Structure 1
Amino acid sequence: MTETARADDAGPIASDVIPGIGTALAGITMVAMLVPVRQGIDDPVVWAGVGFALAAVLAFLVRRHAGLERTIAGPIAAASSVAVVLLAGYALNQGITASTPLPPISTSIPVVFVAFVTAGLTAGVGVAESVGIGLIGFKRRAQQVAVLTVVGFAGLFAPDVTTPILAIPVIPFVESLPETELLVISVIVGNLGMALGTAIIVAAYLHLTDRDRSFIDLRLPTAREVGWTVVGLIVLLIALFAIDFIMQLVGVEGSEHATTQRARERPELMLVMIPIAILIIGPFEELLYRNVIQKSLYETFSRAGAVVTGSVIFAAVHVSAYATAGLGAVIASLGTVFGLSLVLGTIYERTENLVIPALVHGLYNAVLFANLYSLYG
C-alpha cells in the first residue's frame, strides 16, 4: 500500500463502503448486459460480459461479507470489469446496443453503453480497493477527476470563443480571396484560436489553484531526452499499427477523424497542417492534458494511475473529432486514442519535460497529415 493510500484509509467503520460501491456498480453492469439477452440477442460476447460482471459482483460481495483479502478481491473485480469494458465496446461496435425506450423523455438509451460506462467505473473502484484506498481518499480522487475532466472539456470548447475573436480583424482582408486561400487562413486562425483558448484555460487553472509558471515543465531537452523523442515517436507509430491490426483481426471498425474527411475533400490543407501539428497541436494539447491534468493527478494518484486516468480524459475530449459514425465506431476510435495517450503520458512521466511529449505528439500528427496528403493529394 502506498503512503497516499495509508493516509486515505478511512478505518474499519468505512471498510465496507468501497466494496459496497463496487457491488452496486457491478450489479448495474450485470443487469445492463442482461438486457440484450432479454431482448432475444443470444450472443457469446454478451453472455461473456454478463459472466465477467457477475465475477466482479461476487468479488466485492465476498470481500465485504466473508473477509476476502482486498489484494485478491480488488484485482479480480478490476480485471473482470476491464473485460466487460472490452466486451461491451465490442458489442456496441457490432451493433448490439439494446436500446431501451425512456417514456418520460420520449427517447431511448443504449443500455450496453451504460454497461460500458459502469464497468469502467467499477474497474476504478476495484483498483481503489486493491490498494487500500478508503472512503475519504476515494471521494478526493473522484472530485479531482471530475474537476480535471471539466478542465479538459473546457480546453475543447474554449476555441469556440477565442477563434471568432481572432477572426474578426482578419475577415475584411480575406473576404475577396479565392476559396483555397480562404480555407488555409481559416485553418490557421482556427488553430491559433485553439492555442489561445488552451493557454487561457491553463492560466485560469494555475491561478485558481494557486500555482505559478514553475508548474509548467518547460526546459531544453537533454541528449537522453532527445533519445526519448525518437524512441517515443517510433513506439507511438508502432502502437498505432498494432492497435489497427488487432482491431482488423477481431472485426472492429473505427470512425474517421474529421481531419481525414477534410483531407479527402481538400488534400492541400494537409500541407498546412504539418507545421501546425508541430508548432501548435502537439505543444498545446500536451500542455493541457499532460502538464496540467496528468501532473495534477500525481497529487492523489500513483504515477501509473495518473497516466491511465489522464488518458481516459484525453480520449473522452476527442469524442467530437470522431463523431463521424455510430456509437460503437466512435468508442473503437477513442480506444485507439486512449492507447496512444498512454504512450504520451508515459513519456511525460519519465522525462518530466513538456517539450518531449509535445515534440512526439506534433511529429506523430505531422506524419499522419503527410500520409493523408500522399493518399488524397
Structure 2
Amino acid sequence: MSQRYAPGVGVVLAGVALAASLQPWPDAGTLLSAVPIAGGAASLTPIAGVLSAVALAAFLASRHGALDRARGNVAAGVPSVGVALYAAVVAVGALDAGDAVGLWVLLAMAAGAGAGLAALVDGLELPVSGVLDRLQLTVSGAILGVLGLLALSLWNTLLVSLFTAVAGSPGPTARILISTSATGLGGVTIVLGYLNSTDRGLDFIDAGWLDTRDVVYGVGGFVVLLLVLLVSSELIELFGLSSAEHSIVQTARANDPRVLLWLLVPSVLLVGPGEELLYRNVIQKSLYDSFSRTGAVLVTSVLFALVHFPAYATSGVLDAIGSLLLILPLSIVLGVVFARTENVVVPALIHGAFNAFQYAALYVALTSGIELV
C-alpha cells in the first residue's frame, strides 16, 4: 500500500488469529492437543498459536523498521498463510468426523488469510485503490458463479417439470441428462443477463471461426489437460489424499453405465460452451480491468473449482477437496488457452471434448469391469 497501511492491518489480523488460537478448538483434525494456559482460563493450540505469534512479531518489526519491507513481508506472510491452512485442515477434519468446527477455527482461518493478503499487498506495493478494485472484481466474479449455480438449479427444476408433464417422473438416467443440459443452459442464461445488465452487446463474446493457431492451441490444450489429470491424480495419491466421484459417476455406477454415452453430445454442445462463456469470456475477461492476465486466470480458476464443490460433496469433505485440487489445474489450462487465443470457442471445445472423453473412458471401464482409480 502507498503509505504502508498493510503492516498495521497485519498486526491486527495476526493478533486476532493469536487470540483465536487461545480458545477451544475441535479435537478432530488438530495435530497437537491444546495446552492450558492462564490458569486454565484459556488454552493454546500450539501450531496455530506459534505461527500467529511469529506473524504478529514480524508485522510489528516491519511496521517499526526493525525488518525491511521484503524480509518483513516474507516473515509475516508465510506463517499467516500457515495459520489459515492449518485452521482449514482442522475445519475439514472436524467436518469429516461429524464434529462442529466452531467459531474460533473459522476466525483464525479468516484472520490468517487476511494477514497473508496484507503481507502480499505490501510486498507488491499495491495502492489501496488497486486492492479494492481487485477485491470488488473478485467478489463480482464469485457472485456470477453463484448465480450460475442458481440458474442451473432453476433450469433443472423447469426441465424436470416439463419431462414429468410429458413422460412421467424421470428416472436416474433422465435426471442426469436433464442436469447436464441445465448446466450449460444456466451458464448461458447468466451470460445473457450479464450482457443485458451491463449494456454490452453480443460483440462482447469473443467467439470466431478457428484459425490454424486456434486449432494448435485446441489440440495442445486437450493433450495438456490429459497430462495434468494424470499428474494431479498421481500427486494426490502420493500425498495420501483421495478424490470424490462426481455425482454423475455415482449414478452411472449404481444404475446404467450407458447414460455416460448419452452425455457425450450435451457435454460438447452445452456444458463446454455454457461454462466457458461464463467463466472465461465473462468472469476472467472482466478481471482483466485490474488483474494481470495471469492473475485473472488464477482467480477465475479458484472460483471455478469452488463452484464445483457441491457436485463432489456427497463423498465427504476431504474427498471433495481432493477433487477440487484436480479441477483447479485443469481450469488454469482452459484459462491460459482463452487468454492466448482470445477466442472462447477454443476452450469451450477443449472443455466439452475433455468431459466427453472422460465419460467414454468411464463407460469402457465400467462395462469391462476395470477398477477405476
CA 1:251 to 1:186, structure 2 compared with 1: closer, same or farther past 3 Å? closer
- 1:225 pairs, out of 206, 210, 214, with 214
| Distance of 2:127 and 2:107 partners within structure 1 | 26
The answer to whether residue 237 in structure 2 is matched with residue 248 in structure 1 is yes
Asked whether the equivalents of residues 257 and 321 of structure 1 are also in contact (C-alpha less than 8 Å), the reply is yes
Match of 1:159 in 2: 152
Match of 1:264 in 2: 253
- 1:21 pairs, out of 1, 5, 9, with 9
* SS of aligned partner of 1:300: coil
- 1:150 pairs, out of 143, 151, 162, with 143
| Distance of 1:272 and 1:100 partners within structure 2 | 37
* SS of aligned partner of 1:255: coil
The answer to whether residue 312 in structure 2 is matched with residue 322 in structure 1 is yes
The answer to whether residue 123 in structure 2 is matched with residue 130 in structure 1 is yes
Asked whether the equivalents of residues 99 and 110 of structure 1 are also in contact (C-alpha less than 8 Å), the reply is no
Paired AA for residue 64 in structure 2: H
CA 1:219 to 1:278, structure 2 compared with 1: closer, same or farther past 3 Å? same
Paired AA for residue 280 in structure 2: R
Give per-residue Cα distances to partners, 1:283-337, cap 9 Å, x unaligned. 1111111111111111111222111111121111111111123323322222222
Asked whether the equivalents of residues 99 and 108 of structure 1 are also in contact (C-alpha less than 8 Å), the reply is no
Paired AA for residue 376 in structure 1: L
The answer to whether residue 166 in structure 2 is matched with residue 173 in structure 1 is yes
The CA deviation at 1:218 is: 0.6
The CA deviation at 1:82 is: 4.8
Residue-pair matches, total: 354
Q: TM-score, normalised by structure 2?
A: 0.81
The CA deviation at 1:81 is: 4.7
CA RMSD of aligned residues (A): 3.3
The answer to whether residue 344 in structure 2 is matched with residue 345 in structure 1 is no
The answer to whether residue 330 in structure 2 is matched with residue 331 in structure 1 is no
| Distance of 2:138 and 2:126 partners within structure 1 | 15
Query: Identity of aligned pairs, percent?
Result: 34
- Structure 1: state its 5+ residue gaps: 1-8, 102-106
Paired AA for residue 298 in structure 2: V
Match of 2:203 in 1: 214
The CA deviation at 1:34 is: 6.9
Match of 1:355 in 2: 345
Match of 1:276 in 2: 266
**Comparing 186-195 with 129-138, which one deviates more in the overlay?**
186-195
Match of 1:60 in 2: 59
CA 1:360 to 1:164, structure 2 compared with 1: closer, same or farther past 3 Å? same
Match of 2:42 in 1: none
The CA deviation at 1:253 is: 2.0
Paired AA for residue 149 in structure 1: A
| Distance of 2:289 and 2:25 partners within structure 1 | 43
| Distance of 1:285 and 1:153 partners within structure 2 | 12
CA 1:37 to 1:346, structure 2 compared with 1: closer, same or farther past 3 Å? same
Give per-residue Cα distances to partners, 1:220-258, cap 9 Å, x unaligned. 222122111122112212212222211211211222221
| Distance of 1:239 and 1:212 partners within structure 2 | 36
Match of 1:204 in 2: 193
Match of 1:301 in 2: 291
| Distance of 2:185 and 2:101 partners within structure 1 | 39
* SS of aligned partner of 2:102: strand
Paired AA for residue 301 in structure 2: S
The CA deviation at 1:362 is: 1.4
The CA deviation at 1:163 is: 2.8
CA 1:213 to 1:118, structure 2 compared with 1: closer, same or farther past 3 Å? farther
- Structure 2: state its 5+ residue gaps: 34-44, 368-373
Asked whether the equivalents of residues 98 and 111 of structure 1 are also in contact (C-alpha less than 8 Å), the reply is no
